[in-house]
Structure 1
Amino acid sequence: MTEPQPLLSAAELRLTFPGRRGAPDARAVDGVDLDIAPGEIVALVGESGCGKTSLARTLLGLERPTGGRVTFAGAPLSYTASALKTYRKRVQLVLQDPSGSLNPRHTVYDAVAEGLRIHRYPGDEREAVAGALARAGLRPPERFFLRYPHELSGGQRQRVVIAGALVLEPELIVADEPVASLDASVRGEILALLLRLREEMGLSALVVTHDLGLAWNIADRVAVMYLGRIVETGTVEEVLTSPRHPYTRALLSVLPEATGDPLVLAGEPPDPSRIPPGCRFHVRCQVLASGEAERAGVADACRSRDLPPLSGGGGAQVACHWARARHSSGEAIPTS
């Protein structure tokens, strides 16, 4: 049985920013393949500075890639103004901070209606706004029409932002840290809302987050990103119950429910304009530092041999010399 065609696909995607004062270009996205199927929720996970937001902006058409291509519904993304306007009706962004993305001078009604007015919606605007607010969990919607953002709770503001994305009935949303600024008691409600929207509307989603716990609660598939590349991908169960990449294991080890001691990574991710040779994680890798990679016979490869980008879909994949050596030998990889 053939797999369904991806709704959104990135192939060999690259995004570089010119270096300042003669410095090398910064490779924010450095050869990424990523597929999102219809109705699928994919979590893009990694530390700050690993390229998640740059990748999301490129997928949205907000940045034009330096190399590679973005395909939506089987057609390459065009960067003409009219094509991008049509595309952004079908693919909507939900930002992290609702306080920053909502104009304090606009009522809830005007905030949600803005997209309809930009795209010259031919139907009943009031009915569309009410329907979007109701789907986002703000009921009865008319009670919120004339309210301003400062009159709402944080969770209600995030629901208004989601309603503003839903009002155009998109096929996919890109949610950048959608619950990071919310209290713990509200996060579950917003995640449950996103799951319900997937069931009711067939909505696909790319959820950008640093929190693997959030990925566990909402995603079908996880893509772990480090220094411009996806280094591990698979179903949420494959990646979070049997992590293979040392970076993924370190991210998992700091979750409250994790067993064992946290794996503290040394330093910050390297500058994307000075990506190290070999595995780009090797300068911080606890497996290399502990001598495990040496015992597996891959320490030199870790330091000198680059790994090819992972393919966009399919089963569990990992870009790690040590993990591949362990897998090929049939040796089990510990999860903690």
Structure 2
Amino acid sequence: MSTETAVRTEKPALLSARGLHVTFPGRRGAPPARAVDGVDLDIAPGEIVALVGESGCGKTTLARSLLGLVRPTSGTVSFDGKPLGYASGALKAYRKRAQLVLQDPSGSLNPRHTVYDAVAEGLRIHGVRAGTDEREAVAGALARAGLRPPKRFFLRYPHELSGGQRQRVVIAGALVLEPELIVADEPVASLDASVRGEILALLLRLRDELGLSALVVTHDLGLAWNIADRVAVMYLGRVVETGTVESVLTRPQHPYTQALLSVLPESGGAPVVLTGEPPDPSRIPSGCRFHARCQVLASGEAAAIAHRCRGESLPILSGGPEQAVACHWATREGAAP
């Protein structure tokens, strides 16, 4: 971990979740679905955290609950040391400071609105700050998002832009309110490979120039390696491994993290093929929630502690910067550090 990252992660958390649960009612008498089933997570000022996991693991629901878009069933979310309020006025004030950037820029932009109107929308909802000219604010946001000269884009419509330009407009729409935190849900998944690097470089530049914090939701560990200071790996509603990007991606301890990393071209080993699908969140298994698909348990290597894997629950991991793993095999006596 770099000195810069070490300093960044030692600051008090800007965003903090403690014991977060989000449960949805089951359909037709089925048990409730535990989409987020106990999560602690901190994001420090100026820190980029990647939330990684398969589709359906709960990462988008967690991200939305951190923004106040989904109210937790239990647990707390705090921003800048204060608990998040769910009254309309409190949420409106919070959303000036924490903005969402969605995966599909085409779906995020109204095809009937010009670029200018798309970026100015947030200012109009929240009210232009005293002494701020709307036109100057929109131009500044577009320029920071890499659309220069910005006035050339004012009267364009989304269909007249490339995919990368549309994503920059979405980012500009978030930046125009001068937020302290951006939550980016799969921000480059719909873009061509040639454009993805540009958008990731933009997010890093915004962090360095503006001090922005970011939570980047992704299924791609390669993306996490290129952009994140810290990684939280999520499985079936809970974070199962967390730490600095260097520690988690070069020395993964959880078998699930190891399986996700094994499919990257640079891993150099044989891909780990997990059996079956992630369990239904309304029927989370006892013990380690990964045990039914665990390649270490299936191979017989963990036979001595199989009873613990199948029957003994694991604690919620700390939300801070320390490396931690929720795995009986990784934390057994004599396990490699």
Band the TM-score falls in, shorter-chain normalisation: over 0.9
Task: Measure, in 1, the Cα distance between the counterparts of 2:261 and 2:336.
Answer: 21
Provide structure 1 residue ranges, at least 5 long, that are not aligned to the other structure.
Answer: none
**Which position in structure 2 is the counterpart of 1:164?**
173
Match of 2:27 among 20, 23, 32: 20
Q: Give the 5 Å matches for 1:4-153.
A: 4-122=11-129, 123-153=132-162
Q: Percent identity?
A: 81
The amino acid across from 2:115 in the alignment is V
For 1:228, the equivalent position in structure 2 comes to 237
Give the AA of the match of 1:331.
Answer: A
2:213 corresponds, among 204, 225, 238, to: 204
Give the TM-score normalised by structure 2. 0.96
Match of 2:249 in 1: 240
Structure 1 moving runs of 4+ over 6 Å: none
Q: Which residue of 2 aligns with 1:329?
A: 334
Deviation at 1:4, TM superposition (A): 2.1
Counterpart amino acid of residue 83 in structure 2:
P
Residues 1:194 and 2:203 are matched in the alignment: yes
**Aligned mate of 2:282, from 241, 258, 273:** 273
Q: In the TM superposition, what is the alpha-carbon distance from 1:330 to its structure 2 partner?
A: 4.7
Please name the residue that 1:179 is paired with.
Answer: 188
- 1:303 paired residue number: 310
Residue 331 of structure 1 deviates from its aligned partner by 3.3
Match of 1:313 among 306, 312, 320: 320
The CA distance in 1 between the partners of 2:269 and 2:47, in whole Å, is 32
Q: Deviations over 1:246-278 (max 9, x none)?
A: 000000000121111100111111000000011
- Which amino acid in 1 is paired with 2:82? A
For the aligned residue pairs, the C-alpha RMSD in angstroms reads 1.1
Deviates more, 1:308-317 or 1:238-247: 308-317
Aligned length: 328
AA in 2 matched with 1:303: R
One-letter amino acid matched to 1:261: A
Structure 2: unaligned runs, 5 residues or longer: 1-6
In the alignment, residue 137 of structure 2 is paired with which amino acid? A
Kindly state the Cα deviation for residue 110 of structure 1 after the two structures are TM-superposed: 0.2
Instruction: Give the Cα separation in 2 of the matches to 1:217 and 1:260.
Output: 20
What displacement does 1:5 show? 1.4
Q: Which residue matches 2:4?
A: none
- Tell me the SS of whatever aligns to 1:54: helix
By how many angstroms is 1:3 displaced? 3.4
Q: Deviations over 1:172-229 (max 9, x none)?
A: 0000000000000000000000000001100000000000000000000000000000
CA distance in 2, matches of 1:8, 1:193: 22
Shift of 1:149: 0.3
CA distance in 2, matches of 1:185, 1:225: 28
SS in 2 for 1:22: coil
For 1:41, give the aligned amino acid.
Answer: I
Structure-2 separation of matches of 1:139 and 1:266:
49
